[in-house]
Amino acid sequence: MKNLWTKIGLVALVAVLLLWLLKGCEPEFDTKPYEHKIDSLENRIDSIKSQNDLLEDGIIELQNINTGLTDRVDGLKEKVWELKEDLKEAEQALVYTPTQVDSFFVAQYPLQFASVSTDTTHLPLEVSKQVVVDVKQLGIAKQMILFQDSTITTFDTLVKNKDKIIIDLRKKEENYIAIDKERVEQANNYKIQITGLKDEVSKKNWKLKMSKLQKVAIGVAGLIVGILVK
């Protein structure tokens, strides 16, 4: 009976020692999942930066186009101003001589004057001079309409380009906010790693102390087993 209890005590002691040793063999902190997450976030940040680079290139291109359009608008405004001055100058026809009036109509309607006509209609000189003024002003007004239409079209393109620039700038801002969020998440993963590694260092130090105690305990257990076996 004594030998039986001795064996039972021996087995129990060995079991306790094994549990103690296994308890000290906890798994080490794994940094790989966090490193993978950080790398993944960095790739996403690089992708967002590339998007912003493309947006910036597009914005610069639109700004250059708008500079050219602005110069065009200025040129069109200048031309319209010159045409307005021409409208005033057209009134100088009111002091034309009969010869000047005839010369104007011959130059203005060469094909019609070249055709043979039996028409004997004659207009008073003052009426003819006013007609010359009206014809000149009509031609100038047509040119002004064309330039003004071109100005409106150019302005419309300018506005659309500016709207596109505003949209792209907002997109860039959203991307910068997204980058900040990714950076925060990266920082959190770094903190988790640092905390885990600190805990790991603490565990290592604890294991060093425990290993010394385990050696002593194993020695004592061996001594006890030796006494019990006897």
Tell me what the mean pLDDT of segment 167-180 comes to: 92
CA-based angle 214:220:223, to the nearest 5? 140
Task: For residues 225 and 191, give the distance between their C-alpha atoms in angstroms, rounded to a whole number.
Answer: 48
Higher-confidence residue of 178 and 223: namely 178
57: confidence class by pLDDT, cuts 50, 70, 90: very high
DSSP 104-148: HHHHH-HHHHHS---------HHHHHHHHHHHHHHHHHHHHHHHH
Task: For residues 83 and 142, give the distance between their C-alpha atoms in angstroms, rounded to a whole number.
Answer: 10
Q: What is the pLDDT of residue 192?
A: 81
Say which CATH topology domain 2-107+124-229 has.
Helix Hairpins (1.10.287)
Side chain identity at residue 3, one-letter code: N
Look at the alpha carbons of 72, 73, 77, 78 in this order and tell me if their dihedral is positive or negative.
negative
* Domain chopping of the chain, boundaries: 2-107+124-229
195: confidence class by pLDDT, cuts 50, 70, 90: confident
pLDDT by residue (tens digit) across 80-120? 888 888 888 888 888 888 888 888 888 888 887 777 666 66
The first and second tokens of residue 158, run together, are 């300018």
The first and second tokens of residue 50, run together, are 């590339």
Tell me what the mean pLDDT of segment 16-38 comes to: 66
CB 73 within 8 Å of CB 97: no
Nearest CA to 143 out of 76, 88, 77, 83 is that of 83
227: confidence class by pLDDT, cuts 50, 70, 90: low
